[in-house]
Structure 1
Amino acid sequence: MTLQRTTAAAYRVIHAEFTIERVYDAAPARVYAAFADVETKQRWSFCHSEWPVEHVLDFRPGGRETIRTGPPGGIVHLCDALYHDTVPAERIIYSYAMHLDAQRISVSLVTVQLQAEGSGRTRLTLTEQGAYLDDWTDVKGREEGMRLGLDNLAEDLRRPQAA
């Protein structure tokens, strides 16, 4: 299925930015590892747990992450990310393009900053700067998806660590 633009006015770009902060009861190294480890990230980062997912993660500067998902038989949601900077327990910077089927709907730059806050706690600050393309301007939906993922991360960090 190919998505069609609905009007000539649809050829536009909306720029938007949002920032989300969370404080987790886990050390910065553990929060960072939740982004870097493919199995851990699969537990918390997907919006629709009922959808099948293909996920490849190469977490390093120059590495890529690809997530292909969507409702069975429906539109394919593709996230294609490139990691630009990773500083263990401190910072992650990546860019990603989102597609619905073959249609690119946005390109974003994301910065995740981790700061120790008290004993064994981490303040995470995530900032996304996006270019939302054509008819696909649901910035609030994107932010809500990020918030949901970070809430899922809090739940995952409550799991006991493997020895």
Structure 2
Amino acid sequence: MPPEQKATDEKANEIYINRVYDAPVALVWDAWTDPEQVAQWWGPRGFTITTHSKDLRPGGHWSYTMHGPDGTDYENRTLYYEVVEHEKLVYDHGGNDDRPPLFRVTVLFFKEQGQTRMEMTFALETAEAAAEIKKMIKQANGNSTWDRLAEYVEKQQSGDEVFVINRTVEAPIDAVFAAWTDPQQLAAWLPPAGFQMEFAEADIRAGGSARNKMFGDQRPTIYACFEYLEVEPPTRIAYTQSFCDEQGSPGRHPMSPEFPATLLTSISLAAETPNRTRVTVASTPQGARTAAELQAFTSERTGMTMGWTGSFDNLEQRLAGESTAAVG
């Protein structure tokens, strides 16, 4: 079933998640079902898990503890209802011996030209319960779990460290693409909280380049240069981003000099419905990098998630405002 159709048919008491991983189904399935592998990515950023037992079959249980970054432990006991290798998992999530599960999860795995499309549906009793769980997931940064899975399978295949973040935006794909490629719009929503952005030059097209600065009160100014490799309306943008000085000469991040000097970033857009767009951002260090640079990059993924989350919040508010103005 195409993701557009599934998203359109989503029920009010369900939460739907769609992801595409650049990896074969067998690799993604093993990452889900092998306790040693799942320990490398399961849970929001900053969380770790300890598996106590796992019996992957209908009627079997997965017993594990999630360890929060603040030291809080969360005991979980998953009950499996369906297990179809490389195709389907159905289980209860969020329960343990002292509390009932939060919701029923159905995970479907689809082969698509060497990639894997993963569709997840969380089913709850009521629309109100689904709305509350959505809030809880956002507060806990729960969707970063599936970004961590993307990072894990990429490293398994290529050995590269990558940062991934997804966001579903309630806006048409053309409007979202324009927000990424119009310098005036980009400068309005992209800066993290506490920063402003100005472009000294901007030629956003394949083969084009841009240069900007981010600045804020009591914060160092950050200068960056961009080289656009791909700009394919309305689905893809790829560019390199390098730190530089005010004149455009090569530089380093002023607050993290060990951070890689250049990142290769791709932006993928997919229409889930006519008025809903899934955005996937993937970044990896470009060129030669030292062990210290890789360590700085991987250590900063939590901070990058926070920064991008704030930017996406700005983007959604901007696009919602444009939609309201258009209706008015």
Shorter-chain TM-score: which interval?
A: 0.7 to 0.9
Cα shift at 1:21:
1.2
Structure 2 counterpart SS, 1:61: coil
Per chain length, whose mean CA-contact separation is higher, i.e. which structure has more relative contact order (CA < 8 Å, sep 6+)? Answer: 1
1:60-100 per-residue CA deviation (whole Å, 9 max, x = no partner) reads: 01111222133457533112111100111110111111333
Larger Rg over CA atoms: 2
Cα shift at 1:37:
0.9
Cα shift at 1:143:
3.1
Structure 2 partner of 1:3: none
Report if the CA contact (8 A) 2:240-2:264 is conserved.
yes
Determine whether 1:54 maps to 2:54: no
Identity %: 24
Structure 1 counterpart SS, 2:238: strand
2:253 to 97, 100, 103: 100
Classify 1:92/1:134 alpha carbon distance in 2 versus 1 (closer, same or farther; 3 Å). Answer: closer
Structure 1 partner of 2:273: 118
Letter of the aligned partner of 2:308 in structure 1?
M
Cα shift at 1:123:
1.1
Structure 2 counterpart SS, 1:16: coil
Please give the alpha-carbon distance, in whole angstroms, between the structure 2 residues aligned to 1:113 and 1:147: 16
Classify 1:59/1:135 alpha carbon distance in 2 versus 1 (closer, same or farther; 3 Å). Answer: same
1:148 to 299, 310, 324: 310
Structure 1 partner of 2:231: 86
Classify 1:64/1:86 alpha carbon distance in 2 versus 1 (closer, same or farther; 3 Å). Answer: same
Structure 1 partner of 2:182: 37
1:2-52 per-residue CA deviation (whole Å, 9 max, x = no partner) reads: xxxxxxxxxxxxx63121111111111110000111111111001144x45
Classify 1:89/1:73 alpha carbon distance in 2 versus 1 (closer, same or farther; 3 Å). Answer: same
Classify 1:52/1:159 alpha carbon distance in 2 versus 1 (closer, same or farther; 3 Å). Answer: closer
TM-score (norm 2): 0.40
Report if the CA contact (8 A) 1:52-1:72 is conserved.
no
Report if the CA contact (8 A) 1:32-1:90 is conserved.
yes
Determine whether 1:16 maps to 2:161: yes
Structure 2 partner of 1:10: none
Determine whether 1:133 maps to 2:301: no
Letter of the aligned partner of 2:198 in structure 1?
E
Structure 2 unaligned blocks of 5 or more: 1-159, 244-251
Structure 2 counterpart SS, 1:160: helix
More strand by share: 1
Question: Runs (4+) of structure 1 moved beyond 6 Å?
Answer: none
Please give the alpha-carbon distance, in whole angstroms, between the structure 2 residues aligned to 1:74 and 1:124: 29
Please give the alpha-carbon distance, in whole angstroms, between the structure 2 residues aligned to 1:141 and 1:78: 19
Classify 1:81/1:119 alpha carbon distance in 2 versus 1 (closer, same or farther; 3 Å). Answer: same
Structure 1 unaligned blocks of 5 or more: 1-14
Please give the alpha-carbon distance, in whole angstroms, between the structure 2 residues aligned to 1:118 and 1:72: 40
Cα shift at 1:140:
2.5
